[in-house]
Amino acid sequence: ALKVDFRIAPFKTGTWKKFSNHDKPAHNQVNQIEADAAGLLWFATLDGVWSFDGNEFLDRTKEADILSGPVNAMLPGADGTMWFGMSSSVVRYDGGKFVRFTTADGLADNRVNALLPDRDGAAWFATDFGISQYDGKKFTSLARSNGVPDKFVYAIHRSADGAIWFGTYGAGVTRFDGKISVNFTKAEGLADDRVRKIFGGPDGVVWFGTWGGGVSRYDGTNFTTLSQKDGLAHNSVNAFHRDEGGVMWFGTEGGVSRYDGKTFVNFTTADGLAHNRVRAIHRDANGTLWFGTDGGLSRYDERTTGKAVVAPQSARANTEAKAKPKTASPPKPSENATSRASTRPLELKPTWKAGARYVYRVDITQTVQFRFPGMPRAMKQEFEMGQVYALSPGKERDGGGRELEMKFLEHELSAREGNNVFVDFDSKMGDAPTREPNPLAVPLRNLTGARMMCLLSADYKLEKIADYTGFVEKLSAGAPDEGRQIFSQVYSEDLFQQIADGGRRFLPEARSIGESWSSRPELTMWLSGIIAVEAGHTFKGWEQRDERKCLAYQFAGPITTTSLRSPILPSMDLDDGKVAAKIWFDPELGAIVESQIDEVLFTRMDSSGQASPGQVQQRITIKLVDLRKADE
């Protein structure tokens, strides 16, 4: 018998009102909405902070310049304080003054992505370089040895059982009970390893909003995923809200979804939403819902019936009859804007010492995964490369700068897919047996002991490699044509330049400790090509590294490159990706002691007309292992 299932969507009642930058707040992108202890609503935007007392919007950025720029997160305290997570610091407001904290005060990184309250006014901070805790007096950072993530932490939440959850970009989520850490990824049922937001209700259920995978619901035992297939407006989820009846609201890249446990009802710009990319949801004391979007604010009263309206022109400038804010007038900016960053600029200037021999070791690990249609499991390839090399400054160049000789002392290379080993070479032991002959055997053997000449600019940063083509031809003499071609692709000129440079080209000029700035550097991703990064930089300050007193500098940000055209790997389109790098510089030596670069890319590759999702992860570590006279 024919079975017919009639489903009627709930009626969309309610009245919408939009506020754009013409009406205030000043920037259309609203990242978070919070209420303070006095009942004021606060709005974190892409350029500053605003508050609303029910009648009037107030630009709080005018009170303190340190609030200008992107504000990623806010945290109201029970004592009336308010924390602001910026892209260049974290700021605390106590009702009278604004105080700025940076890495100079112990913060793990100046880019703060999420905040969490703790007991007695303490707070947790999720950053691009790990997690910090503030006890009211000082900052401490959780060590990686605790099992907590130390890169790309974008969400933080305390669940009903007291455990703290950390959401990351690329490494899933970690549950930390104060002693033991447990990591959950797609392998355990999480919708995606890129987690944007975490939310928990009084029932103990924890929700995870992801990039592209939808929403995951964790009941303490199992994960359940809700996606567009189930009715969710979009699979990228940025915000959560749970009402008194247990109904969940999700802010997505494609609108707002209301979920009662069985049925989704979606709201978009067609219904009155200011923009379909929704970043924040908040219900005020009157029961009205506020949505922060990329097109401004939307206010929704679901208890009424009516059409969407836009704030009238008169509301944009009319302040004569507005009520006064509920907090006292703040002091002047000169009195309330306090910065704790060091004001004395320091230089990170490389100074190659003639007659010295700097011995470094570089290690590169790369994992490439793709899931092709019809395959039961993802294809996973692993590549590793290690080199020990010596850098010896030579004679000065006309017009400034020096020659820099790079001599290769040891070398390892391996490539495998599961149990299938393609290449396994170690210069200390020779070429290990593989299923197929190693076409790289000849140039790899010739690389040990080989010398390459690099040319330094007047500021002692690497400018270029002299006669790279001749260097490769000399190493490849006697190798099969396939070996010559693969060697020049695996060991490109860009890769050798990045290894020899060791991060010196990223070193800033004179900067103050705690200072932040932005740039768009390019990096060589081994086997994959050149990637561009929208990087936020921080001069972190003094740190001990291998018993040396070093100045630490770091940067992180999203990858802006949209495609990779690798000579080794298949061509890939990039959905998104992140880079985080840290460099330790010893000013007494005038040399970099260590540099680390972590990269994670989420890609798509065309396979028989279908898009195959993939992921590429890479870490490069370059470390000074010895320093002696050139003739020793």
pLDDT tens, position by position, 452-464: 999 888 877 788 8
Cβ-contact 90, 84 below 8 angstroms:
yes
> Which residues pair with residue 75 across a beta bridge?
83
At 468, which helix (H) or strand (E)? helix 468-475
Dihedral angle, C-alpha 198, 579, 553, 354, nearest 10 °? 160
Under the banding of pLDDT at 50, 70 and 90, the label for residue 233 is very high
The C-alpha atoms of residue 340 and residue 530 are separated, in whole angstroms, by 37
Over 70: is that where the pLDDT of 374 sits?
no
Under the banding of pLDDT at 50, 70 and 90, the label for residue 284 is very high
Residue 508's nearest CA partner among 343, 348, 341 is 348
DSSP symbols for 287-322: S-EEEEETTEEEEEETTSB---EE--THHHH--TTP
Give the model's pLDDT for residue 64.
79
DSSP 235: S
The C-alpha atoms of residue 279 and residue 219 are separated, in whole angstroms, by 25
State the greatest distance between any 2 C-alpha atoms of the chain, in Å, as a whole number. Answer: 92
Give the model's pLDDT for residue 66.
82
DSSP tally for the chain: helices H, then strands E: 6, 46
Domains and CATH numbers, the chain: 356-629 (2.30.230)
Give the model's pLDDT for residue 531.
84
Instruction: For Cα atoms 313, 318, 320, give the angle at the middle one, nearest 5 degrees.
Output: 165
Give the model's pLDDT for residue 167.
95
Give the model's pLDDT for residue 35.
92
Q: How would you write 542-602 as a 3-class SS string?
A: EEEECCEEEEEEEEEEEECCCEECCCCCCCEEEEEEEEEEEEEEECCCCEEEEEEEEEEEE
Lowest mean pLDDT among 77-81, 135-139, 390-394, 524-528: 524-528
Q: Name the range with the highest mean pLDDT among 395-399, 484-488, 546-550.
A: 546-550
Lowest mean pLDDT among 154-158, 224-228, 238-242, 568-572: 568-572
Pair of tokens at residue 232: 């969710």
Q: From edge to edge, which strands make up the β-sheet containing 139-141?
A: 112-117, 123-127, 130-134, 139-141
Q: Which residue is associated with the tokens 């205030």?
A: 24
Strands of 201-247 (E only): list them: 206-210, 215-218, 223-226, 237-242
The mean per-residue pLDDT over the stretch 590-617 comes to 81
The mean per-residue pLDDT over the stretch 158-172 comes to 92
Lowest mean pLDDT among 24-38, 166-180, 370-384: 370-384
The C-alpha atoms of residue 28 and residue 277 are separated, in whole angstroms, by 11
Cβ-contact 110, 116 below 8 angstroms:
no
DSSP 458: T
Over 80: is that where the pLDDT of 55 sits?
yes
At 415, which helix (H) or strand (E)? strand 402-417
The C-alpha atoms of residue 609 and residue 269 are separated, in whole angstroms, by 33
Strands of 432-528 (E only): list them: 451-456, 462-465, 516-519, 522-525
Answer whether the bond into residue 25 is a cis peptide, omega within 30°.
Answer: yes
Q: What is the pLDDT of residues 1-46, one digit of tens each?
A: 333 333 333 446 677 887 765 455 556 799 999 998 888 899 999 8
- On average, the pLDDT of the chain sits at 82
The C-alpha atoms of residue 522 and residue 532 are separated, in whole angstroms, by 4
Under the banding of pLDDT at 50, 70 and 90, the label for residue 373 is low
The C-alpha atoms of residue 413 and residue 316 are separated, in whole angstroms, by 64
At 445, which helix (H) or strand (E)? helix 441-447
Angstrom CA distances, 537 to 114, 128, 129, 514, stand at: 18, 11, 12, 10
The C-alpha atoms of residue 591 and residue 327 are separated, in whole angstroms, by 52
Lowest mean pLDDT among 10-24, 170-184, 212-226, 404-418: 10-24
Cβ-contact 154, 112 below 8 angstroms:
no
Give the model's pLDDT for residue 462.
82
Strands of 80-129 (E only): list them: 82-86, 90-93, 98-101, 112-117, 123-127
Terminal CA-CA length for the chain: 91
The C-alpha atoms of residue 73 and residue 124 are separated, in whole angstroms, by 12
Under the banding of pLDDT at 50, 70 and 90, the label for residue 107 is very high
Q: What is the pLDDT of residues 391-416, one digit of tens each?
A: 998 888 888 888 889 999 999 999 88
Over 60: is that where the pLDDT of 84 sits?
yes
Q: What is the pLDDT of residues 240-256, one digit of tens each?
A: 999 988 999 999 999 99
